[in-house]
Amino acid sequence: MNRPQPLLAIDELHVTLPFKGQPRTVIQRVDLTVPAGSAVGLVGESGSGKSMTARAVLRLLPGGARTGGKILFDGADVTTMSPAALRKLRIHDVAMIFQDPRAHINPVRTIGDFLTEALVTTRGVRPRAAEATVTALLREVGIADAARRLRQRPSELSGGLLQRVMIAAALAAEPRLLLADEPTTALDVTTQAEVMAIIDEARAERGLAMLFITHDLALAAAVCDRIAVMYAGSVVEELPADRLHDGARHPYTRALLASRPAPGSGGSLRAIPGRPLPAYETGPGCAFGTRCSQAQEVCGAERPLPRSGGGGTTACHFPVDPLVPQATTGAGDRSTTHG
């Protein structure tokens, strides 16, 4: 087979952070590929390592982090890259939209300085031209009074306005890969549609690829080509986006989908019973085992490896057959408790 090499290939990524002098696992195992021009959604448990995965791609992990496995961008391994190559990667190739824009935009500088600085200092664009570029971009993301916004400071902007400033900054760099960490959580749904449409256009026009972290499963299914689901530091399922709602095979994915009933269905919200585990607390078995309604003995003893089937991969000893109607996947269902 002669498949083109994907723009981003993450292969058995493992990350530990030091805790009281001991390494502590925060990413157990992540395998992901993002071909040029495509969008991969990363969804899953809060605290499961989605942001860490994205940060690992830019080597922006907390101090003392140790990384195992490979992260190949256009064939070059980020984990062993020289400082010069890493700088080029961050400036020209990969842009990140951070989950918490207020923590990543200098509070004392103006929005205009923040947006134009990179264009002026690293790309040699003239200040006037840079200002015109970012003004146009701000309009694109639905900020009409761009001239006034450029003179303001972050504290004068609402959460959603600041999030859009960060999106504009990321797009201004014309990257090849966009790491978008919850880029639309602070936006109303109409503005969200606008922003996603702009990203779609960049994908179609210049082959922009995107790793899209979100909690909104319907949004992920709508804008992505493929979806990866994380739980306790591992990708537990990977599948085509249009199969998410009726083709998911991992019990965690199915329970997640069942947590949120379709709008207007009148169904109630259902949390998955039990407590999520951080990656470093998982035992030898399946990390979801203690909360899973279909777990059996082997699930507590042996960690399931990702296996392909149904157009995707699933790390589960007993993947669900989506064609067989299921009793609800344990979510809130007391009759299916697991010991």
Ligand X SMILES: Nc1ncnc2c1ncn2[C@@H]1O[C@H](COP(=O)(O)OP(=O)(O)OP(=O)(O)O)[C@@H](O)[C@H]1O
Cβ neighbours of residue 181 closer than 8 Å, sequence gap 6 or more: 50, 51, 54, 96, 97, 98, 99, 213
Measured between alpha carbons, how far is 199 from 184 in angstroms, rounded to an integer?
Answer: 12
Task: Give the nearer residue to ligand X in terms of CB position, either 156 or 321.
Answer: 156
Report CA torsion sign: 213, 215, 218, 219: negative
Tell the smallest beta-carbon distance from residue 81 to other proteins (Å): 25
Residues in contact with other proteins by the rule CB under 8 A: 43-47, 51, 62, 99-100, 102-103, 142-144, 148, 156-161, 163-164, 182, 185-198, 200, 215-219, 221-223, 245, 255-256, 259-260, 262-264, 268-272, 275-276, 278, 331
Judged by CB under 6 A, which stretch of 90-98, 123-131, 150-158, 331-339 contacts ligand X?
Answer: 150-158
User: Does 158 help bind Mg ion (rule: CB under 5 A)?
Assistant: yes
Judged by CB under 6 A, which stretch of 47-55, 220-228, 310-318, 327-335 contacts ligand X?
Answer: 47-55
Q: Tokens for 300?
A: 């507590």
Measured between alpha carbons, how far is 228 from 214 in angstroms, rounded to an integer?
Answer: 11
Report CA torsion sign: 22, 25, 26, 31: positive
Spacing of C-alpha 259 from chain mean position: 20
**Contact pick of 62, 159, 274, 311 for Mg ion (by CB under 5 A):** 159
103 binds, among Mg ion, other proteins, ligand X, none (CB under 5 to 8 A by kind): other proteins
293 binds, among Mg ion, other proteins, ligand X, none (CB under 5 to 8 A by kind): none
**For tokens 């549609």, what's the residue?**
193
Tell the smallest beta-carbon distance from residue 339 to other proteins (Å): 21
Measured between alpha carbons, how far is 3 from 307 in angstroms, rounded to an integer?
Answer: 20
259 binds, among other proteins, Mg ion, ligand X, none (CB under 5 to 8 A by kind): other proteins
Task: Give the nearer residue to other proteins in terms of CB position, either 94 or 195.
Answer: 195
Among 28, 53, 18, 49, smallest CA distance to 282 is for 28
- Residues lying near ligand X in the complex (CB under 6 A) are found at 17, 26, 46-52, 62, 99, 155-161, 186, 278
